[in-house]
Amino acid sequence: DADVTQTPRNRITKTGKRIMLECSQTKGHDRMYWYRQDPGLGLRLIYYSFDVKDINKGEISDGYSVSRQAQAKFSLSLESAIPNQTALYFCATGTGGNQPQHFGDGTRLSIL
């Protein structure tokens, strides 16, 4: 779905730098999610949000923070990047209530 857009698509940066990954959606969904994908580990939930005033930690939130600027925008920040945060990051949206989630194209992040 082109209507879940992630920027940037690729990013290479250095240890200690602050990085922000952005996600925007035109699907009108209330719920937004950030996942991290590593080989052999599947998709692990970092943070999720049900609306602008609601932010929840996922299973691997340490070292990350998020901001829900509007219903359509959800950004993920790494305040001080470290090499083991090198991964593929996906944003997803959904309506909850046991409904499918819809993913963006992902951001490939490399931290040197």
Partner 1 sequence: GENVEQHPSTLSVQEGDSAVIKCTYSDSASNYFPWYKQELGKRPQLIIDIRSNVGEKKDQRIAVTLNKTAKHFSLHITETQPEDSAVYFCAESTGGGNKLTFGTGTQLKVEL
State how far the Cα of 50 lies from the Cα of 42, in Å rounded to an integer: 23
Q: Which is nearer to partner 1, 80 or 94 (CB)?
A: 94
Q: Which of 15, 26, 69, 99 binds partner 1 (CB under 8 A)?
A: 99
Q: Using an 8 Å Cβ cutoff, are 46 and 38 in contact? A: no
Q: With binding defined as CB under 8 A, does residue 62 bind partner 1?
A: no
Starting at the edge strand found earlier in the chain, the sheet holding 19-25 runs 4-7, 19-25, 73-78, 65-70
Q: With binding defined as CB under 8 A, does residue 105 bind partner 1?
A: yes
- CB neighbourhood size of 82 (10 A): 11
Judged by CB under 8 A, the stretch of 22-30, 70-78, 79-87, 98-106 that binds partner 1 is 98-106
The two structure tokens encoding residue 42? 């599947």
Q: Which is nearer to partner 1, 13 or 105 (CB)?
A: 105
Nearest alpha carbon to residue 11 among 85, 91, 100: 85
Q: With binding defined as CB under 8 A, does residue 63 bind partner 1?
A: no
Q: Which is nearer to partner 1, 26 or 99 (CB)?
A: 99
Q: DSSP letter at 83?
A: G
> How many residues bind partner 1, per CB under 8 A?
23
State how far the Cα of 69 lies from the Cα of 84, in Å rounded to an integer: 27
Q: With binding defined as CB under 8 A, does residue 52 bind partner 1?
A: no
Interface with partner 1 (CB under 8 A): 31, 33, 40-45, 48, 50, 58, 90, 96-106
